[in-house]
Each structure stands twice: as structure tokens, then as C-alpha cells.
């Protein structure tokens, strides 16, 4: 029940942040969420004995995020920084050289994973309908969260009530096929509700595609995070949100669904 109540309580707050406040406030919140997610992923790596370069990873992730906000900041700045600074940090730290490649590689991957996927949440907010000159970014962001949270809530409720067949028992023993089907159906319902409520430009075909695609990719994103937690031997990435764990536990589906919505709008919707 905590899971459902947390989502229901935060939805109107998030609507106010996205629709009413300056976009800069949203970008700051995304950056803060990215740093928390970075901390959680480095915590998972530390549980496996890896010594990641956390501060340098945070700088790299912020540089990647900045490339999504400012046209003058090239993402190659962040990649060059990471490729140069992280191995040098391992060299400077000294000690046993055996895990140096794994430590450097994990530091680089985590910073890139967080920076790029959170960056798409920023990119969605800046989208607009160029032929009509209409700002659509806030609608797209709220659509993403609304559909994915609808899917997540439906998957949880259906899984608890009807779940019998394990979906991926080695990765997440509690997830079921029935819950996954409920999640996709929940995403479809949420997409059509969004069409009637605030995203009138969605056609029936858009709702069907986005419901199926965002519902499915959200489940896969959830499984990816479960894999990382299981590999680290931890139940949750953190204990920040009641009933949800950490930022990653709450945003894993959103991070995977964000690029799907972004490119669907860019190539399928805005072209119309």
C-alpha cells in the first residue's frame, strides 16, 4: 500500500513542478536525482568490493547533463574527461593493480548511464512543436511519468493479487508474468487517459504504441536494476522513498522509457 500511496501523493506535486514552475527548477531536481542515483549505483559497486572514483564520476555525470541543457557544452567534453581522468585517478591511488580496469570501467559506465538517461528527461522538457511554435515539453514529461507510474502501479497490484508464474526468478523472484501483463495494460489505460485529459494531440495509434512500448521497456528497466541489486547482494539501492527504496528503485523504468518517448515524438509525432 505504501507503494501506491507514495505514487498518488507525488503525482500532483510533480504536475505542479513540471507545468507551473520555471524549467530551471525541473532541471535542478533532475540533476539532484541524477547525483543520488549515481551515489546508489556506486554503493552497489562498493558492495562487490569495487573502489570507484565517485567524485570524478559525479563531475563526468554533471558534464553529460550540462550537454543536454546547454548547446555550447559538447558531450565529448565529458567523455574525454572521463577517459583521461578516471585511469589517472587509479594510477594515482596506487595499490593493487588487478582491479584497476574494473574500477575505472565501472566508474565510467555508471557516470555515463546516469548522465545520459537522466539527460533525456531534461531533453523531453525542452521539446516543442516547431511548425506550430507550441511548447510541448511539460506535457511530454508528465505523459512519461503518468504512463510509467500507471504501469508500475498496475503491475504491482495485479502481481500481488493474481501473480502466479515467475517472470524472471533469477533476477527478481517476486515479479510475475501476470504482473507484467497488468503493467502493460496499465500503461495502455494511462496513455488513453492522458489523451483525454491533457495530451489531446495523441492519436489512437500513438496511445497503443506508447502504452505497449513504455509499459514493456519500463518492465525491462526494472529488471535491469533488479539484476544490479541482486549482483550486489542488496534488496534496495537505498531507503529514500517509502515503499520504493531509493531513487533508482523509483526511476529505473522512467530512465529506460525516456529515450523511447523522446525518439517516438521526434520521428513519429512531431513530423505530423
pLDDT exceeds 80 at position 134: no
Q: How many CB atoms lie within 10 A of CB 128?
A: 13
How confident is the model over 75-95, as a mean pLDDT? 93
- pLDDT tens-digit series, residues 160-171: 889 889 898 888
Reading phi first (left if > 0) and then psi (alpha if -120 to 50, else beta), residue 133 is in left
- pLDDT tens-digit series, residues 70-82: 999 999 999 999 9
* End-to-end CA separation in angstroms for the chain: 41
How confident is the model over 104-129, as a mean pLDDT? 93
pLDDT > 70: what percent of the chain?
Answer: 89
- pLDDT tens-digit series, residues 44-53: 999 888 889 9
- Is residue 211 a contact partner of residue 190, using CB atoms and an 8 Å limit? yes
Residue with the bigger pLDDT between 155 and 95: it is 155
Q: What is the DSSP string of 44-79?
A: HHHHTT----HHHHHHHHHHHHHHHH-TTS-HHHHH
Residue with the bigger pLDDT between 272 and 55: it is 55
Given this model, what pLDDT does residue 137 score?
Answer: 87
- pLDDT tens-digit series, residues 32-44: 999 999 999 999 9
- pLDDT tens-digit series, residues 203-250: 999 999 999 999 999 999 999 988 888 887 776 555 555 555 688 888
Given this model, what pLDDT does residue 132 score?
Answer: 53
Per-residue confidence band for 140, with pLDDT thresholds at 50, 70 and 90:
very high
Domain ranges of the chain: 2-269
Q: How many CB atoms lie within 10 A of CB 111?
A: 31
Given this model, what pLDDT does residue 194 score?
Answer: 94
When the pLDDT of each residue in the chain is averaged and rounded to a whole number, the result is: 88
How confident is the model over 110-128, as a mean pLDDT? 94
How confident is the model over 84-95, as a mean pLDDT? 90
Given this model, what pLDDT does residue 14 score?
Answer: 82
pLDDT > 90: what percent of the chain?
Answer: 58
Amino acid at each position: 500500500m505504501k507503494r501506491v500511496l507514495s505514487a498518488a501523493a507525488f503525482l500532483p506535486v510533480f504536475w505542479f513542478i513540471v507545468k507551473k514552475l520555471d524549467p530551471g527548477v525541473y532541471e535542478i531536481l533532475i540533476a539532484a536525482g541524477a547525483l543520488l542515483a549515481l551515489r546508489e549505483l556506486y554503493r552497489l559497486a562498493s558492495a562487490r568490493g569495487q573502489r570507484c572514483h565517485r567524485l570524478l564520476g559525479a563531475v563526468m555525470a554533471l558534464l553529460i547533463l550540462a550537454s543536454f541543457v546547454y548547446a555550447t557544452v559538447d558531450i565529448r567534453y565529458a567523455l574525454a574527461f572521463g577517459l583521461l581522468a578516471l585511469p589517472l585517478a587509479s594510477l594515482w591511488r596506487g595499490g593493487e593493480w588487478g582491479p584497476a580496469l574494473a574500477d575505472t570501467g565501472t566508474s565510467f559506465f555508471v557516470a555515463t548511464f546516469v548522465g545520459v538517461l537522466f539527460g533525456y528527461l531534461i531533453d523531453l522538457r525542452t521539446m516543442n512543436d516547431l511548425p506550430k511554435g507550441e511548447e510541448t515539453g511539460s506535457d511530454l514529461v508528465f505523459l512519461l511519468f503518468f504512463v510509467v507510474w500507471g504501469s508500475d502501479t498496475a503491475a504491482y497490484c495485479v502481481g500481488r493479487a493474481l501473480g502466479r508464474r515467475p517472470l524472471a526468478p533469477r533476477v527478481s523472484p517476486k515479479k510475475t508474468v501476470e504482473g507484467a501483463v497488468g503493467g502493460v495494460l496499465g500503461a495502455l489505460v494511462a496513455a488513453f487517459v492522458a489523451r483525454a485529459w491533457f495530451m489531446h494531440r495523441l492519436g489512437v495509434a500513438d496511445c497503443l504504441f506508447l502504452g505497449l512500448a513504455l509499459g514493456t521497456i519500463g518492465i525491462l528497466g526494472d529488471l535491469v536494476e533488479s539484476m544490479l541489486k541482486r549482483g550486489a547482494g542488496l534488496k534496495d539501492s537505498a531507503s529514500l522513498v517509502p515503499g520504493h527504496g531509493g531513487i533508482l528503485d523509483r526511476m529505473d523504468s522512467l530512465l529506460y522509457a525516456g529515450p523511447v518517448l523522446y525518439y517516438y515524438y521526434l520521428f513519429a509525432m512531431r513530423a505530423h
